[in-house]
Structure 1
Amino acid sequence: MITLWQAHFSFTMIIFLLLPSFGLNKAARIVLLIALLAASFIPLNGLSLAAYLRSHIDDLAITTLVFMVWGCLRKLGFLQPAQQSATTVLIIFAAMALVLYPATLGLTYLDPYRLGFSPRPMLIVVALLTIGLFYQRSYLAVVMLASATLAFIVGIKPSHNYWDYLVDPLLGLYCCVALLALAVRWTYGWLSTLSAQ
């Protein structure tokens, strides 16, 4: 049951975040979000649109859901942009994706995914990382990591692997692409400054 609701919320937030704002005010954007949630129940070939999307992207990690909730709240105007916190999130989860996915594709001899089944060392590392991020005031990353750990302990998802709560291909790909875009923008700005001198 939880996975079905997760699919509907995932569908709603992904579409909402991909759509432009259309110059709508806050109330109209809230109505749009509710309309997208209702649209997620529309059947297509015997499956709801949300279930159809889920069949392509699978269940998202808890961290991805928290990140999308943060993005939706920003887009609705309830939260102010926090560039430093967002950049920290991009670095952390891009690093996790680069550790996990090359190995799962057989590109290395290491198998970090196996560690997620008995994740006591991982839990300690993530706890220390979360404490460090809290003292650095990277609250978005703290909430993402803490939510994933709590969800794993409770067992919200069908998976018994801690990695499935921490990162998924969608989040990993987004973070890597966003970091690359930031690096290109920074390099372009730096070169522009040099040429202007």
Structure 2
Amino acid sequence: MRSVKTVAILSVLLLAGCASQSHKQANNQQQTPLTKAPPHKVAQAWSLFTEDAAHNYGIDQKLVDAIISVESGGNPTVVSKSNAIGLMQIKASTAGREVYRVQGRHGQPTNSELRDPVKNINIGTAYLKILQEQPLAGIRNPETLRYATIVSYANGAGALLRTFSRDRDRAIAMINAMTPEEFYQHVQNKHPAAQAPRYLWKVTTAYRTI
């Protein structure tokens, strides 16, 4: 049986050919070098780790795979201008710190931890679980919950819920009165962050192709 380290190396090599030129730019630009790699290829490359994390946290594996595809294109070395790191582009001081807090740990992940594919996927998946169990708790339709999780991963749950109401319970009730299609269009038309509609579209498109 191949070791985890061997599988990780093979996973990187599987996609490395798609990114040889972009790797040179990763240190001075916000890049996702493997965004041209098909989402299903990215999903295959990291499936050993995403399957394990998704199972442990009760999260849809395809959602984890789609976020990795959009955030980093499957390249664990990517670091953005805002210091979001690795496969799921995690910021240590925000999502990383929140995961540590919920897990009863002090501080936040180190940059070295976030560059580790296994730890990065685990922290990112744990953060998805936090979003679904805390600010987004109560959204009944699974498709709507997926859309809400995607938007909240990129721009925060608070910004999303405030497009409905400043009262969380009222916002959740309003969301539950919508179809998934109506919720999707609400994000497209009402979210204050210009990135949010594009991100929702990108991750949803990747999700449907995996």
Same fold flag (TM > 0.5): no
Q: Give the helix-richer structure, 1 or 2.
A: 1
> Which of the pair has the greater relative contact order for Cα pairs under 8 Å at 6+ separation?
1
Q: Compute the TM-score of the two structures, normalised by the length of structure 1.
A: 0.31
Q: Compute the TM-score of the two structures, normalised by the length of structure 2.
A: 0.30
